[in-house]
A and B are shown apart, each in its own frame.
Chain A
């Protein structure tokens, strides 16, 4: 190669190296693509799209149809994991539910002025309509006895019907054999106080609901202040009969029946959803009667010893 051709070649090389340097400086100064850039991009875009389409198509085919060797084993593992996690979840949910029920019972025990014993529900025979007709608890004849009241934080559940071995059966308040002395809470009175019409709550024994009735519900007050019971009125235990403590909310009036001028007949829906009860409290002894002299009684003076001067 002659010297002249070599000089031309190296000059051209230098010019070619300087060209992109200038282009770079200009593009950085401009900040946007030049017309040439845009034209080239427009020209090459279909080519890039085509190549990308082919490559992604091949890769997609590979991943969807060919690379499925371990999918079956992975699927089996995932199913097993899923099964295990479902069981764990169910156990946790059950434990959480039991904990909530026990917390409720602890709260009930604190505010109930009677000796109580917590019990876990271990069985609940159902009616053909999937209604609970009895409860079986894990306390036997050594701890509980027949006719002891059974309550939850929501209200009364029923009474012990019989106790045998380590278990006891509870007859529900919705059973016709159940009788509870109740009063209709007078809306005019403060919450917790019961001073309305009184009656005996009996279960209706319906296979498809837990409805109860109050038969022979006496009219309130004298003839001048007579008023009828209304739907929605709250029914609470009266505390009479030495079984349930007074003031436990039993349910709400859902229907008002016959009124012969002296007695009314109403239907009550219990507040306790028996199908969801997991733990209950058995009242071992009736609450002590209130002491009427508690605030007025004075201590007698000591018979012996020093007295303050």
Chain B
């Protein structure tokens, strides 16, 4: 239920960002990658089993594929892989505090951008010239780094709402993975 709620909220945020970013065309390239942030959050906060987080990320990716006009499965696959990367990171470092959150958001956006490029190359989906792709990834990375902590704060609130104990709730609000 928690994962489903996070996916739904993330999906609504993606739609809102898509509507909002059309109104600010001068920063069109710097769209925050909310899908990657959500996938990373799901990977970071995955409890004992990782499959629900992967499932949530893939469902969100599929929905983003549909609203963005990408070939269905492309972003789903990228977000699934991003969740795995975040899960691997979670087992080694503790993502906590504003600076680490910003840095990890940027890292996640970069990883998602690179994965998306590789998947498109692998499946022979047309790509832009490398310089354009690089500029796009850079813009997305910066934008994602800026909004990352805010998005995760929202997700922590959701996490806290689904907490079963007071300790779990405090841990969720603190940003400590269970």
Q: What is A's interface to B at a CB cutoff of 8 Å?
A: 1, 5, 9-10, 12-13, 16-17, 19-28, 33-34, 37, 40-41, 44, 47-48, 51-52, 55-56, 59
* Cβ A23 vs Cβ B23 within 8 A: no
Q: Considering the chains assembled together, what is the distance between the CA atoms of A215 and B166 in angstroms? A: 119
| Residue of B18, B66, B76, B80 with most chain A CB atoms under a 10 A cut-off | B66
Residue in contact with A1 in the complex, picked from B48, B71, B72, B84, CB distance below 8 Å: B48
Q: How far is the CB of A49 from chain B (nearest CB, A)?
A: 9
CB pair A20 B66 closer than 8 Å: no
Whether A33 and B72, one on each chain, are in contact in the complex, defined by CB atoms closer than 8 angstroms, is yes
Residues of B within 8 A of A17 (CB): 54, 58, 77, 80-81, 84
Contact B67–A20 (Cβ < 8 Å):
no
List B residues at the A interface (Cβ < 8 Å).
12, 15-16, 18-20, 23, 48-51, 54-55, 58, 61-63, 66-67, 71-74, 76-77, 80-81, 84, 119, 123-125
Nearest CB in chain B to that of A60: its residue? B23
Q: Are A44 and B19 touching (Cβ within 8 A)?
A: no
Does the CB pair B80–A37 fall under 8 Å?
A: no
Are A20 and B73 in contact (CB-based, < 8 A)?
yes
CB-CB nearest in chain A for B87: A13
Contact B72 A44, beta carbon cutoff 8 Å: no
8 Å CB contact of B19 from A25, A26, A51: A51
Instruction: Determine whether the beta carbon of A28 is less than 8 Å from that of B54.
Output: no
In the bound complex, do residue A24 and residue B48 qualify as a contact, i.e. CB atoms below 8 Å apart?
Answer: no
**Is A28's CB under 8 angstroms from B76's CB?**
no
Are B51 and A21 in contact (CB-based, < 8 A)?
no
A9 & B84 in contact (Cβ 8 Å cutoff): no
Instruction: Report if A20-B16 is in contact (Cβ < 8 Å); known contacts: A27-B73, A33-B72.
Output: no
Contact B72 A27, beta carbon cutoff 8 Å: yes
Find out whether the CB atom of B73 lies under 8 angstroms from the CB atom of A23.
yes
Nearest to A17 among chain B residues (CB) is B80
Chain A nearest CB, measured from B88 CB (Å): 12
The reply to whether A23 and B72 form a contact with Cβ atoms under 8 Å apart is: yes
Neighbouring A residues of B123 by C-beta, 8 Å:
24-25, 28
Q: Which residues of A contact B74 (CB under 8 A)?
A: 20, 24
A51: which of B12, B61, B72 is its contact (CB, 8 Å)? B12
Complexed CA–CA distance, A27 and B75 (Å) = 13
Q: How far is the CB of B5 from chain A (nearest CB, A)?
A: 15
CB–CB A59/B20 < 8 A: yes
A84 to B66, CA, bound (A): 53
* Contacting residue for B15 out of A1, A47, A56, CB 8 A: A47
Contacting residue for A55 out of B20, B67, B77, B119, CB 8 A: B20
Cβ of A22 and Cβ of B66 under 8 Å apart?
Answer: no
Which A residues lie within 8 Å of B49 (CB)? 1, 5, 9
- CB contact under 8 A between A52 and B80, given known A20-B62, A40-B63: no
Which residues of A lie under 8 Å from residue B81 when comparing CB positions?
17
A24–B51 Cα gap in the complex (Å)? 20
Q: Chain B nearest CB: distance from A54 CB in Å?
A: 8
Check B66–A37 contact: CB distance below 8 A: yes
Assuming the contacts A16-B55, A48-B15, asked whether A24 and B23 have C-beta atoms less than 8 A apart, the reply is no
CB pair B125–A28 under 8 Å, yes or no, is yes
**Residues B80 and A51 in contact, CB atoms below 8 Å apart:** no
Complex formed: what's the CA distance from A10 to B76 in Å? 18
Q: How far is the CB of A36 from chain B (nearest CB, A)?
A: 8
Complex: how many Å from CA A40 to CA B62? 10
A169 to chain B, nearest CB (A): 65
Complex contact B50–A13 (CB within 8 A): yes
| C-alpha spacing A55/B72, complex, angstroms | 26
User: A48 to B67, Cβ gap below 8 A?
Assistant: yes
Docked-complex contact B23 and A44, CB < 8 angstroms: no
The complex places the Cα of A5 from the Cα of B71 at a distance, in Å, of 34
Given known contacts A13-B51, A23-B72, is B23 in contact with A56 (CB within 8 Å)? yes
Known contacts A47-B15, A51-B12; A16 and B20 CB within 8 A of each other: no
A-B contact list, 22 entries, CB within 8 Å: A9-B51, A12-B51, A13-B51, A13-B84, A16-B51, A17-B54, A17-B77, A17-B80, A17-B84, A20-B58, A20-B76, A23-B72, A25-B73, A25-B123, A27-B71, A28-B123, A37-B72, A40-B66, A44-B63, A44-B67, A51-B16, A55-B19
Query: Once bound together, how far apart are the Cα atoms of A166 and B61, in whole Å?
Result: 88
14 other contacts beyond A9-B48, A12-B54, A24-B77, with CB at 8 A cut-off?
A1-B48, A13-B51, A17-B58, A20-B61, A20-B77, A21-B77, A23-B62, A24-B123, A27-B73, A37-B66, A37-B72, A40-B63, A52-B19, A55-B19
